[in-house]
Chains A and B, each alone.
Chain A
Amino acid sequence: LKCTEKYIYYLSFQSKSDIISTVEFNHTGELLATGDKGGRVVIFQREQESKNQVHRRGEYNVYSTFQSHEPEFDYLKSLEIEEKINKIRWLPQQNAAYFLLSTNDKTVKLWKVSERDKRPEGYNLKDEEGRLRDPATITTLRVPVLRPMDLMVEATPRRVFANAHTYHINSISVNSDYETYMSADDLRINLWNFEITNQSFNIVDIKPANMEELTEVITAAEFHPHHCNTFVYSSSKGTIRLCDMRASALCDRHTKFFEEPEDPSNRSFFSEIISSISDVKFSHSGRYIMTRDYLTVKVWDLNMENRPIETYQVHDYLRSKLCSLYENDCIFDKFECVWNGSDSVIMTGSYNNFFRMFDRNTKRDVTLEASRENSKPRAILKPRKVCVGGKRRKDEISVDSLDFSKKILHTAWHPSENIIAVAATNNLYIFQDKVN
């Protein structure tokens, strides 16, 4: 992808009620899952390309919708547990069914999504409506046969991994061994086996003996894409730790520690808050990690711990507004970041429904907007520009006109093609690059 290539607005799905809280393509890109604040999961499936319309790639249509989590009440602590889906992660496909993990603040669930296009007919003991027959009336036996039916997609919860997190779960990550996964909350990371729900191993614990000494929390965690013993986790102090599970059972001692020294010229009371890392992602190659803090996206080489190899300014014009953003709590917003399939372009969201892409090779970047007003089907997205001061050009928007309630926190990139999914509050936008 050339970063300057324009995107075509492709499909917009407007969720009726709830704010989208997570977006994730599966490993082939055939499916796209969204989770929302109401605990629902909506899965979109890409349509097969038809021979009639070769120029038109498959669109994403709703494939399955289900209620993953319900609001719960913890009677012991007198607390309500939100049903909001914090993260969805797909398992690689191993048979006809699809599996995904979805989590709220406290409980992870494994869902199986499968198709049913046949149903058995001709039971001996039941009639067609399912009522039991009087066995005395049965004189002959027959073998039930499978008859075709309208395609039905069902989602069934296969595992519930509960009661292992005292604090709020912020991340889940499937291990490359496909047998285990981890869940991370503010202070601890647990390792699970998919088959075992009543036990998990605690692999990171940063809870101090006295909570009074607490100064740092875990903000995100992810397994290495190829090395099943390696994972990283980020902190609210802007640090990343890489851990090797072979070293010890409890990975409190990191193998590598990534931290960039603070820039003294940019120091302020808000330095720590804006350095807090909101997302960490391994590159597909496994050689780099990308981190998102409030104002920047950074790319780190696993072999260099003392500073990132690349830093991209997402919205540096906000640096002088930090006090206002602290006042309205926007400074605590947690933006995610994603790699494209070839690790050459990175993308992250901003305010005013803007999202940004950075081409690592050409060093060019672009700002695009996800909004219904500016996007018509098959229309090319126009690059946007924020004007910092001085004379504002016609198409530019000034910093003070930005709408801070329209934030793009969640985006996803198709694993191999130039198709992106952008969640803008309760709207999902899917864009793809121009096809000649």
Chain B
Amino acid sequence: MLSKGLKRKREEEEEKEPLAVDAWWLDPGHASVAQAAPAVASSSLFDLSVLKLHHSLQQSEPDLRHLVLVVNTLRRIQASMAPAAALPPVPSPPAAPSVADNLLASSDAALSASMASLLEDLSHIEGLSQAPQPLADEAPPGRSIGGAAPSLGALDLLGPATGCLLDDGLEGLFEDIDTSMYDNELWAPASEGLKPGPEDGPGKEEAPELDEAELDYLMDVLVGTQALERPPGPGR
């Protein structure tokens, strides 16, 4: 991603100003914010983040790191602006009560308007299909797979993506970039045990054991998809 270079030549007298301005962006729990934190400041940061998210999702292939960081930041901002809203639990610092009330009062309308328009825009984006498909789609006839088949030890048992973009709020934003359709992975119905989520020390659970029926089903899928694959051509 290209940087938008910022070359600023300021008079030396003005040097102190930027430092003060930036204090507004600090967490509401921070001491300096309690002094002068116009509600519009946080709302602007929210808008900026929403804009970045929108722009990122419009890329044909979003930079996943950038996207994840912006979404996580947006969650933080949103949580601090509207702690009573129906959002997924996000760890946020306790806001100074007066500051939080001010933010809520003045930014509620702006907040909901921004979110609504963003979600509406995103629902129009022609994204990738949300439903995972069998491996056969990955190899149309005539095109050999020159690359990796993940080892059986790395079976990714996917459930079909569910939920409507509008229902899930921020979470739903990732549905558009779900590339499970194109992954080299096997499809299995939602009843299969799900692969554990992102690496997370204390919260990580054991993957459920597969019973015999599920194992049989898996084998059928494996055999079925292998029959559809064409072996790679010689000389690769």
Which A residues are closer than 8 A to B by beta carbons?
A: 76-80, 160-164, 166-168, 186-187, 190, 197-202, 205-217, 219, 235-236, 241, 248-250, 252, 254, 257, 267-270, 272-273, 276, 320-324, 326-330, 332-333, 389, 392, 398-407
Contacts and interface: CB of A to CB of B under 8 A. Distances in A.
A198 B3 contact: no
B153 A215 contact: no
B98 interface: no
A215 B232 contact: no
B229 to A, nearest CB: 12
Contacts of A404: 3, 5-7
21 contacts: A80-B60, A168-B61, A197-B236, A198-B148, A201-B154, A202-B151, A206-B198, A207-B156, A207-B195, A211-B179, A212-B173, A212-B175, A269-B77, A273-B69, A326-B73, A330-B3, A389-B15, A389-B19, A400-B15, A401-B10, A405-B6
B14 to A, nearest CB: 8
Interface in B122-156: 128, 145-151, 153-154, 156
Nearest to A203: B154
Contacts of A198: 145-148, 232, 236
B72 interface: yes
A168 B63 contact: yes
A208 B68 CA distance: 13
Contact of A217 (B30, B65, B161): B65
A266 B69 CA distance: 18
Interface stretch (B20-28, B100-108, B109-117, B214-222): B20-28
Contacts of A322: 22, 25
A212 B146 contact: no
Nearest to B151: A201
Contacts of A321: 18, 22
Closest 6 CB pairs of A and B: A163-B147, A405-B5, A164-B148, A249-B153, A200-B148, A209-B194
Contacts, number: 219
B146 A162 contact: yes
Given A78-B60, A166-B183, A328-B3, A208 B30 contact: no
A272 B48 CA distance: 17
Given A326-B73, A403-B6, 10 more contacts: A202-B151, A208-B197, A209-B194, A210-B161, A216-B198, A236-B68, A250-B153, A267-B93, A328-B4, A405-B3
A326 B194 CA distance: 36
Contacts of B23: 320
Contacts of A402: 7
Contacts of B128: 77
A399 B146 CA distance: 51
A267 B27 contact: yes
Interface residues of B, number: 80
B68 A214 contact: yes
B177 interface: yes
A105 to B, nearest CB: 8
A270 B7 CA distance: 22
Interface in B1-50: 1, 3-10, 12, 14-16, 18-19, 21-27, 29-30, 45, 48
Contacts of B71: 215
A320 B18 contact: yes
A268 B30 contact: yes
A199 B3 contact: no
Contacts of A401: 7-10
Given A202-B154, A212-B175, A328-B3, A164 B147 contact: yes
A250 B9 CA distance: 52
A252 B201 CA distance: 11
B18 A400 contact: yes
A77 B145 contact: no
Given A332-B69, A398-B15, A405-B7, A215 B147 contact: no
Contacts of B10: 398, 400-401
B8 A208 contact: no
Nearest to A272: B72
